[in-house]
Structure 1
Amino acid sequence: MIPVTTVTKDIDAPIGEVWAIVSAWGSEKLWFPNRMRSSLEGFGVGSVRTLTFKPGDFTVSERLEAVDPLAHTLSYALIQNPDHDRAKYPRGSIVLDDLGGARTRFTWSCKASWVDENFKAEFVNMITGMYSEAIDCLGKLLAASEER
């Protein structure tokens, strides 16, 4: 596997609150931007979430591969993606770190077994943008819940 991109951001929320949402595989409607539809088949490791995004109306399916609640980590494999001929076997992983003072470091990484050189820059920009926006949306969601 080769690294594709990593996005790291700090969120003003305790790690338990961040983990409660991130680890709830299938809860992406709460914090994924530009999501039109989503569905979940199964429960826990091995379950598959299918997400359709706009613009472009593209769909991906992701299988949950590992969850470690003590380490606050999870990993998944893209089993259906519109760019399968240009990026082979992409994998994602999320790691949360407790920064203390009700702050959490959110690190989201993508790897793939192969990415077409002519597609690599576009793929990196697309994944980096999606991860960054999703982390920002999660931070805003948790900040809004604190204000209530």
Structure 2
Amino acid sequence: MARTVIRIEEDILDHPVEQVWSLVSSFGAIQAWMRSIKWCTISGQGVGTVRTVMSMAGVQEEILEVLDNDAHCISYRIKDNPFLPMKGGFGNWKLESIGGGKTKVTWIADAEEINTDGVAAIAPIYEGFMKESIAGLKKALS
């Protein structure tokens, strides 16, 4: 099923891809760099792991769908929540070494089902959350 992009956030980090990947790929350790996460638990290992997070928006479950250590990609499905204007939401991270000890981070939030009103409502929230999270990642790496 085709997905609708809600928000794309890109940034360049002054750290080697392996160092960035060590944090981004730790599915149950996002509290270390996402300031808005109050707590996080996981159930399982590898693809299929369920992550439960508590943020200022409440409790949300996410399921790890892709964890590719060679391509530095991670993707998780956001369990449908009646408080979100979408179904089949995903978070997708891709890290790319760009030389000189730097890494390009691309984070895409998208959904299988969301209308234009839903995108308009949630995109600004995602923008702030994604920017704050990447800033937290930079701080944790320093």
TM-score computed with the length of structure 2 as normaliser? 0.92
Q: Which residue of 2 aligns with 1:104?
A: 103
Q: Which residue of 2 aligns with 1:141?
A: 140
Aligned residues: 140
Q: Which of 20, 23, 26 is equivalent to 1:21?
A: 23
Which has the higher mean CA deviation after the structures are superposed, 100-109 or 115-124? Answer: 115-124
Q: Which residue of 1 aligns with 2:4?
A: 2
- Structure 1, unmatched stretches of 5+, are 144-148
Q: Secondary structure at the match of 1:118?
A: helix
The one-letter amino acid paired with 1:129 is G
Q: Secondary structure at the match of 1:113?
A: strand
Q: Which of 25, 34, 41 is equivalent to 1:32?
A: 34
Is 1:11–1:139's contact at 8 Å kept on the other side of the alignment?
yes
Return the offset for 1:80: 4.3
2: CA distance, partners of 1:40 / 1:23 = 13
Q: Which residue of 1 aligns with 2:118?
A: 119
2: CA distance, partners of 1:136 / 1:99 = 19
C-alpha distance 131-82 of structure 1, shift in aligned 2 (>3 A) = farther
- Structure 2, unmatched stretches of 5+, are none
1: CA distance, partners of 2:81 / 2:96 = 29
Is 1:59–1:82's contact at 8 Å kept on the other side of the alignment?
no
CA deviations over 1:74-97 (Å, ceiling 9, x no partner)? 11100143534x211101110001
CA deviations over 1:30-83 (Å, ceiling 9, x no partner)? 1111111211111110001111112x4x12111000111111001110014353
2: CA distance, partners of 1:73 / 1:12 = 19
1:130 pairs with 2:129: yes
Q: Which residue of 1 aligns with 2:76?
A: 76
